[in-house]
Structures are given as C-alpha cells and as structure tokens.
Amino acid sequence: MVATIDTSTAARWHWPDLAASLRSARRRSPIGTTLNAASYIEWRYYAVLSPAFHGVVGLALVNPEYRLRAVAESGLLLIVAGVLDRPNLPARAVATPPAAAATAAFCWMHLFPVTACRFDANGPGSLTAGDSECCVALAHRGLASADIEIEAGAGLKLRLEHVGLTDAAIPPQTGRDFPGAFGSGSFGAHWTVDCPSPVASTNGRLSLGAGLLTSLAQASGSTPGYATAALCERVAAGGGHWHWQGTAGYYEHSYGVRPLPLHGWEFVFVPDAVAGQSVVLQTYRGSQALRYLDVCWQQDGALRRQRFGTDALRLSWTECTHDPVLGVRRPLARRILAEAEGLRLELYNRVVHRLPFLRPHTLAVRHFFISEEIGVADWTLTDATGRVLAATAGQPCGGELAHFRLRAPRYRVAPTTGG
C-alpha cells in the first residue's frame, strides 16, 4: 500500500510564512525581497470533469504585498470557467471532435484585495474572502478533500465538494533550475508543484443568472470574462442550473516565486474516479526538475504509483494550430511516451475545447495567457512482458497551456473546439 503523506498542517497556505520571512529579510535585501514578493504566486486548482460542468474552480494569490503594481496585478483571483452540458466526447481520442457551434461555455473572474482575505483561520487550507460583489469560503478536510462555496451578486452560485482518493497524493516537487537572470541566482526563482489529489470524486451544483451572462457576453476586449451565445440562450429559456454527483476531479496546490511572463507551463490530467486511476503530466518551461509524468493505478488490490522523470519522457504535439485569440500556436493533439523501471505508458490526448484566460490590465499579464484545455485521452500502462496493467479509452481529461506571447489581441475572447 502506498503510504499517505497527509498531515494536519500540509494543506495550509504558504504565503503567510513567506511573508513573515520576507519582512525579516527586507533590511538586508530590499530590492530582492520586493522582487520576490511581487513575483509570488500561489494557486489552488479544483477541476471537475462532469458532462454537466467540465471546468475549473481556481484561486490564485498573486503579488500579495501590492509591489510594482504598474507591472503586476495584486490580490486573490477567483476563476470559475468551463463547458456546460458538454457535448458527447469521442469514444476514442483519435476521433473527430464535435462541432463548436452549440458549445455552452463561460469564464468568470473576480479579483479580491488581499486585505479582504483570511487564510487558514478556520483550519489549514481554509480561506474566506468577501467584498460588495462576491464572497467565497473554502474549507479543507485534510490534504485532499475540500468544500467550496461561492456567491456573486451578479448571479453566480457554486457549491463544490471534492473528495480525493485515499493515498493517491503525489509527493510535492520543487524546481529551482530555471535558466537566466531570474533562475537560480540571487533572485532565487523557485516553484513547487503539489498534487494532493490526482483523482477525486466530486459533487456540486452551479447556478448562473441571465444578468451575469448578458454582461459577460457583451464584454469588451478590456474585460477578461465571457459567455457564449449558446449558454445565454439556455439560461434565458430558464435552464440556468447544473448539478453533478460522483464525477471525476483533480486538485493541485502549487506555489513559488517566478515572474509570471516567464512562468510557462503545460500540464494534462486524466482522472478516472470509477477505476481509481489517473495520469498527470507536468512540464514547466526551462526546468528539468519540473518535467515528469505520474500514473497511479489499481493492481492486486492495492494502489500503485510510478513517476517517469524527464529522461524517461517524450512529449510531442502531433497536431497544432495557430490560435487567433491567444496569438500563439497551440496543440490540438498530444502523444506522450514514458518508459522506466520496466513500465511503459503510452497516452494520446485530443483537445476538444479550449477556454482562454486573459487579463489585459497590466503589462505582466497582458503578454501572458493561460489556455484551459478540455479534451479526451486514451492511455495504456504495460509491464516489461507487455502485460496491460491499466488502460482507458475515451476518458475525459483536462489541462492547461500557458506562456509568454509577444502579441496581445485586443478583441473579445471566445472559446473554440480543438479543431
């Protein structure tokens, strides 16, 4: 049996401890501590892979001390985004994805000032934040299970229960090998990927008001949120409520000091709550330490886990396209091959929908994008004899692609399919 890494304090937010150490170091290195504080990011990322709602509830703490505000945003960014009433995914990842015309999707964001947030007050990992427009409450039950409630006066209500698979947590991995002036030198850029829940069972409900979606649908290029016409039509007809039960989920808590425009990443997760198995790919631009793939599966009545490091991993984009909204090339399909310790994993992932996360408010984020990916994957894990240890086909999956972009399009964003 895989040993648990849960403790009573492992779920806590890391910013309060770092803030205290920065205060004590500020007299010795005022410029260095200012850069560290301005470049600090900590996120909690809860994904739901339900046909009713396939998307993400994210909380990103950025630049908590309000440093260099002309360049970098500051506060706690709350994101709820996804595809609703998701069209049927292909039975296998190689199939042609469905058409985009009737996709009901949205992206809603709200930025809280840090002064409106309370971290760990109601237990490790807890958060409460509120202002005149929105309130959120997060409570953690141990490392891998959480409850989230969000209510926005504009017309959004969400309740999410996330229960991670016992003993499936992936040990945290820290990278300090980023290249250049902002790498391992005096600036000390570093990033820790902590995945307490590579596979989970989630229950939840979501309500969206017509007024909220109307404002999102009419948003200009200076506003990051959006809603598709198909979603607006559904809600206008009285269908603004969704619920799910026992569907697969994924949770990641990652943090560190890294200038956002240089902080590119690509990750894919394929959780299967029914079979109790998952594959997670992590890659961070410029780091070999943060380039790996984890798989967990059930074998002989026990949960097994294997990590394939960077030398054992091959990742290729077998299809890609230029995205006019993101202003970059992005993958339509990926092929991943990993081999180590007598095990071989082959994975094929097709991106069916993508949701752009763009924030045009400051220089740092204007030339940076996150593309939330909704797709389908096939994977097979075999041993040295060729025996299949675990496999899945047509499994709903998620992930992100994010990095710097030279061009920042000014027109309104909209989600599309992978095709």
- 203 in a structural domain: yes
Q: Higher confidence at residue 215 or residue 337?
A: 337
How large is the average pLDDT for residues 76-84? 96
pLDDT at res. 43: 95
- 370 in a structural domain: yes
pLDDT digits (tens, 9 = 90+) for 219-246: 655 567 899 999 999 998 888 999 999 9
Tell me the two tokens of residue 91.
Answer: 């039975």
Least confident stretch, 139-148, 200-209, 359-368: 359-368
- 251 in a structural domain: yes
3-state secondary structure of 214: helix
Residue 90, Cβ density class (10 Å: 0-12 exposed, 13-18 middle, ≥19 buried): middle
- 9 in a structural domain: no
User: Is the pLDDT score of 181 beyond 80?
Assistant: no
User: Is the pLDDT score of 7 beyond 90?
Assistant: no
Alpha-carbon span 18 to 30, nearest angstrom: 15
What is the pLDDT confidence band of residue 363, given thresholds at 50, 70 and 90?
low
The total domain count for the chain is 1
**Summary mean pLDDT of the chain:** 87
What is the pLDDT confidence band of residue 1, given thresholds at 50, 70 and 90?
very low
pLDDT at res. 4: 42
pLDDT at res. 362: 58
Alpha-carbon span 411 to 419, nearest angstrom: 21
Closest CA to 414 of 107, 208, 110, 98: 107
Q: Where does 225-282 have alpha helices with state H?
A: 229-236
Which residue in this structure is represented by tokens 């409850």? 147
What is the pLDDT confidence band of residue 25, given thresholds at 50, 70 and 90?
low
- 15 in a structural domain: no
pLDDT at res. 217: 85
- 1 in a structural domain: no
pLDDT digits (tens, 9 = 90+) for 109-120: 999 999 999 999
What is the pLDDT confidence band of residue 31, given thresholds at 50, 70 and 90?
low
This prediction's pTM: 0.92
409: containing domain: 40-417
pLDDT at res. 53: 98
CB 108 within 8 A of CB 225: yes
- 28 in a structural domain: no
Any residues with CB less than 8 A from the CB of 23 and at least 6 apart, and which?
none
Least confident stretch, 148-157, 191-200, 399-408: 399-408
- 24 in a structural domain: no
